[in-house]
Amino acid sequence: MEKYCKRYIPILLMVCLNSINPAHGAEWSNTEIHFQYGELKAPSFANGVKADTTIVTFQHASGWKYGSNFFFIDRIDDNRPDGFNDQDWYGEWYTHLSVNKMSGRQRGALLADWGPVMGFNFAADASVTKYLPGIRFSWNVDGFAYLNTDFTAYIDDSEGVNNGGAPSDDDSYMIDVSWSYPFSIGEHAFMISGHAEYIGERTNELGNEVSDWILAQPQFRYDLGKTLWNDEGKVFIGIEYQYWKNKLGDKAITDNVAQFLLVVQL
């Protein structure tokens, strides 16, 4: 893990600082800290048991002249010292180029925008690295703050077993849908946001099948800050529901759990 962190943490910190620095011409930005707590399952190699799990997330999204950036970094810890989710780090970063912004033209009524997207995923303890080049379509649907579909490759560049990491995989593909839907009931403000992904099956370096999976992580948020302090969009409470069929490619494990959620917008 030390070798892996030395390799990637400085790069991620540079991306973070450049993304949130207003001097770099961000047209808009949103930075949040999430706290989640729930009972998640470990994969079979870690006995497949449930454990109370705490996840603290630093998340940022911003728009710039030609597109947008999004990244998050999770710090994950559970109450079982079994080598899985023991003070682990996981992160994802995506940058998207907007054809609308680059061309100065607007799309039709349903297809709001489209353009190339490039993603980078990493897991520190497992020494896993994935690259996700592809294309994003943004949709104009009434009520949604945004609704995107991504179609990307899922290219493995992991350290592998010989370097102390998880087994490396063949390449695959990902289909992802992300959304945000704010709404109000009387004086109370709510939001349903999140994403759902499908990743295709592949084979790892040991010759074992890594199953395809479906991972959905919708959040239901209540704007507590607006209600208590008349400060809208700053403090939310709610739940994040996780449905992960074939978790980490393990056909024996499916997560189906609601986690407590606290969000603070910076």
pLDDT at 26: 78
Beta bridge partners of 123: 90, 128
94 closest CA partner among 72, 65, 64: 72
pLDDT band at 104 (very low <50, low <70, confident <90, very high): confident
Reading the block at residue 73, the tokens are: 């970094």
Reading the block at residue 61, the tokens are: 């999204």
pLDDT at 6: 44
Separation between Cα atoms, residue 109 and residue 76, nearest integer Å: 41
Picking from 9-18, 47-56, 104-113, 186-195, which range would have the lowest pLDDT averaged per residue? 9-18
Distances (CA, A) of 24 to 28, 69, 168: 11, 12, 36
Q: What percent of the chain has pLDDT over 90?
A: 80
Reading the block at residue 197, the tokens are: 């992904």
DSSP strand pairing (146-156 vs 219-223): unpaired
The pTM of the whole model exceeds 0.85: yes
User: Torsion over CA of 199, 205, 206 and 207, rounded to 10 degrees?
Assistant: 60
pLDDT band at 153 (very low <50, low <70, confident <90, very high): very high
User: Torsion over CA of 74, 218, 142 and 189, rounded to 10 degrees?
Assistant: -90
Euclidean distance between the first and the last CA atom of the chain, given in angstroms as a whole number = 30
Supply the mean pLDDT for the chain.
90
- As a three-state string, the secondary structure of the chain is CHHHHHHHHHHHHHHHHHHHCHHHCCCEEEEEEEEEEEEEECCHHHCCCEEEEEEEEEEEEEEECCEEEEEEEEEEEECCCCCCCCCEEEEEEEEEECHHHHHCCCCCCCEEEEEEEEEEEEECCCCEEEEEEEEEEEECCCCCCEEEEEEEEEEECCCCHHHCCCCCECCEEEEEEEEEEEEEECCEEEEEEEEEEEECCEEECCCCEECCEEEECCEEEEEHHHHHHCCCCCEEEEEEEEEEECHHHCCCCEEEEEEEEEEEEC
Residues 221-256 pLDDT 10s: 999 999 999 999 999 999 999 999 999 999 999 999
pLDDT band at 106 (very low <50, low <70, confident <90, very high): confident
pLDDT at 102: 92
Report whether pLDDT(260) > 50. yes
pLDDT band at 25 (very low <50, low <70, confident <90, very high): low
Residues 155-176 pLDDT 10s: 999 999 999 899 999 999 999 9
Residues 39-77 pLDDT 10s: 999 999 888 899 999 999 999 999 999 999 999 999 999
Single-letter amino acid code for the residue at 101? K
